[in-house]
Amino acid sequence: MLLRWLYTFLLTLLSPIFLLSLYKSKPNKPKFGSRWKEHFGITPPPCDQTQQPIWIHTVSVGETIAATPFIKKLKEQYPHTPIIITTTTSTGAQQAEKLADIAEHRYMPLDLPFAIKGFLKQTRPQLMLIMETELWPNTLHYVAKADIPIAVINARLSERSAIRYSKFQPIFNLLAQNLSLILCQHKDDAERFTRLGINEQNVQITGSLKFDISVSDRIIAEGENLRSRLGKQRPVWIAASTHQGEDEQMLSIHQKLLQLHPNALLILVPRHPERFNDVFQVCQTAGYKTHRRTEQAEDLRDTQIYLADTMGEMMLLLASSDVCFMGGSLLGDKVGGHNLLEPAAIGLPCLIGPSFYNFTDITQQLSHAGACFVCQDQSELADTLITLFQESQLRQQCKTKALQVIAQNTGAVERSLQLIKSLLLTTTHTNK
């Protein structure tokens, strides 16, 4: 109790700094508008109040995209049960709005008692599902106190995070005591949770929800259409989710590729929308013929850099490419890489830098299968990229292996739904 009070006091002091960062206006970032009140628990009740909703927290864009197949299947199985999705960020809200036909969006309240209580009073959820490992002490305390089961789905816990939690074991215990179920992506995630003291009966391995990824015919068709405009008979590679410090490296690598393939194209996709303008200037200053996706043009065959300055179109962009480099992996230990499953589901050969600790298992599976190449630096990355464009048979082998890895790991959505069913049945019985 004392520990949580101390945490609440510190969070109260720090929350203005957090909110200033959250609300800071940035280029291409959606605004919160009058909905800022929701962060303080002043939340509209669900439109559908026939049943208590299932509350799913997905933080931001990546988690919302990853949870989408699960949310759709959940709605299929429980068509009359309302679903509320909460995100912290406005970009996450923008992504969640794409599910508006099956779920309502609310902003996640601050982890302060009055805000959490206000949210719970208005929404009255029957179950809370947390995507990955977004654990807040007061939220977990007051949700559990209201007899609402809490399950973490698609849970992952890196070795680095596990060591950090172990140094503050009382804080982790404060979180863990309120969790009904933890559904882990992989065996090593489960072992870390149990090592920290979670009851083994409350920890299950379901696989990653992100493996249950389907590439629609619409995406394939749109990707082919974009590729026709970019030029079908030219090498096209995509640098996805790049961070500051990686864009310049991508341009240097592309320069090497252009020396062998003068018509080559790089699709550059910065991770954060507030960087779009800066990255465009970097490309222009470097002398590349650069075109922004938001600028309409039919013929793009002379373009050297295609800057993807939009959100939520990654699959389409991947579907128009031949090879993918995944960003966040060439910056030492600052980021830890991003998820390779989307390019793998398209069948693209994948390149990644040496830092991928956030997605170790997925990267290693693809690497061991021969669908992904881990490159230690910019130079090795350039050499591998050139080799892939020189050997079409190697690219085809990578595609086959990538799709095999995806197929071998599907089923996490069904397993997760099966395991949370008991919690839903329990809450349904309680609410009658």
Beta-carbon contacts of 365 under 8 Å, excluding residues fewer than 6 positions away, are 405, 409
Catalytic residue numbers, as ranges: 63
Please name the helix (run of DSSP H) or strand (run of DSSP E) that holds residue 360, with its range, or none: helix 360-369
Q: Pick the closest to residue 106 from 35, 25, 33, 31 (CA basis).
A: 35
Residues paired with 151 in a beta bridge:
129, 181
Token pair for 335: 């980021």
Q: Pick the closest to residue 134 from 88, 90, 91 (CA basis).
A: 88
- Cα separations (Å) of 171 from 3, 203, 241? 8, 19, 33
**DSSP secondary structure string for all residues of 289-341:** -EEETTS--S--TT-SEEE---SS-HHHHHTT-SEEEESSSSSTTSS-----H
Please name the helix (run of DSSP H) or strand (run of DSSP E) that holds residue 236, with its range, or none: strand 236-242
Token pair for 86: 């909460």
Token pair for 203: 């920890």
